[in-house]
Structures are given as structure tokens and as C-alpha cells.
Amino acid sequence: MNFLMLDVAERYARHMGTHLHIAHRGYRTGLGDNTLAQIAEAIRLDCDMVEVDVRRRGSDGELVLAHERGANLTAPLLRDALALARHANIPLNLDLKQNGLSEQLVRVLHEGGMTDRVVLTGGGWEQALWIRHLEPRIRIGFTIPRRHHDWLRAFGWAANRLWRFVWTGRVDLLMKAYRIDLVTVQHRLVTPKLVTQVHRGGGEIWVWTPDDPATIARLCAMGIDGICTNVPDPARVTATQRTMIAA
């Protein structure tokens, strides 16, 4: 199947009952981090969607693809990433790394003709609500937890218990109250009950960033809707492409 021949609706349709395969920062293919080259490579490797990080560059106020603060002048412009994605007819997951981007972001999406081809995650509830007010067509997701601090690893068991207790009891109500389309969850925090709660709220549940095949299989068995991962889907990558990735 030629990925560039598919429109966005067909991409979702071909995964009804399964899950979306989302390229985390365009996959880790040796082409840098959050780069246009990575997006192009993820498209070539037949992903369903590409996740990139977005923040405002301090030097000129432009929205750029960058995970960390202090994005330099070489960081790709969001508008260029949108143009590439629009040309390939592939949706983007824009993970917002700071608040206060609403008006500028919506304007850039309008200019790029991508308001109905993006999913926004990251940021806070207030920003999500304001973006929804400015442009109802944009799909909004919320990230759990909002930041992956070191304490999550150091106190993994306690953190898992805490998040499972809090979110599985009220996530469906929060999704309805804040008009959230989906939640994207650190994969260690996912439980069957959480999946049920999200679906009960009328939304989707995506997970980040499992790279182990056994973990991915376990999550799929729970009924998750999307996987944001650093590795291409082996079922869609040709032998030639696998050789290029390994190199």
C-alpha cells in the first residue's frame, strides 16, 4: 500500500479495531531529533502518524520542532513540518512542550491548512480548553503524566499505583468535562481498567513509548488505540528498509 496515496480518513479506517502506529519524533533512524528528514523517513516507513515536539523559540518567537528549551536557529520551523505532512497527507501529533502557544499555534495551523490533520497533546488543561474554543476542529489529547520526571523511574511502583488509582476512577468524567478527544499515557501506567474508562468517556487511549515487541503486544491486547514508539512497525517495513535502518 502506497502511504502517500492514502488520505487521512483512509489511514484511520485501515486501523479500525487495531491501533495507530505513531512515529515518536519520526522514529530513531539516525537522522537527528525532531527533524524534517525524520518525518520524511517515517512517511517512507509507512507509519500512520508522526509525533513531534513543539515549542516557541526565544530568539525570534517562531514555533519550532524541539524537545528542550533553548532551541537554536537550526531547529525546523513548525510551518515547514506542516507543509511536508500536508504534501504527504499524513497527520501529525504535535506534543506541546510549553503553555501560552494557543493563538499562534492555531494561526500557523490555519495558514498551513492542517487544522483537521493534527492531534495536540502536552500542555495544560487551560491551554487545551482555549485551543478548543479558538478552533473546534482540532483534536485535543492530554498527556499522563504531564512530565516524565526522574522520580517516575526511581519510585516506579509507587507512581504506578498512584496514577492508576487517580486516573482510572475519573478519567472518563474529566474527558467529558474538558472535551478531550484522547489521553496519551506512559505505557507503564496503562491498565485494562484505564482503557475501559477512557473508552467509556468516548475517547481514545494512546501509549508512549514502548519499544519492546512483547510490551507492545501486551498493550494491544488491552485494547489501546495508538502506540507512539521509536521503532517502525515490522509488519510494514520491507527487508530493504530494515537493512537501511540497521545501518
Query: Does some domain include residue 4?
Result: no
Query: Does some domain include residue 96?
Result: yes
Query: Does some domain include residue 36?
Result: yes
Query: Does some domain include residue 204?
Result: yes
Query: Does some domain include residue 163?
Result: yes
Cα gap 140→118, rounded to integer Å: 9
Those residues with Cβ within 8 angstroms of residue 143's Cβ, 6 or more apart along the chain or in another chain: 95, 121, 122, 183, 184, 185
CATH number, domain containing residue 219: 3.20.20.190
Query: Does some domain include residue 10?
Result: no
Task: Please tell me the predicted confidence (pLDDT) of residue 57.
Answer: 95
C-alpha cell at 18: 487495531
pTM: 0.84
Other Cβ atoms within 10 Å of 70 Cβ, number: 10
Q: Yes or no: say if 184 and 208 are a contact pair by the CB < 8 Å rule.
A: yes
Number of domains making up the chain: 1
Share of the chain above pLDDT 70, in %: 77
Those residues with Cβ within 8 angstroms of residue 97's Cβ, 6 or more apart along the chain or in another chain: 53, 54, 55, 66, 67, 122
Three-state DSSP class for residue 1: coil
The neighbouring-strand residues paired with 184 are 143, 206
More confident residue, 232 or 227: 227
Q: What is the pLDDT of residues 40-61, one digit of tens each?
A: 999 999 899 999 999 999 989 9
Instruction: Look up the domain containing 110 and give its range.
Output: 15-146+154-235
Query: Does some domain include residue 92?
Result: yes
Q: How confident is the model at residue 71 (pLDDT cuts 50, 70, 90)?
A: confident
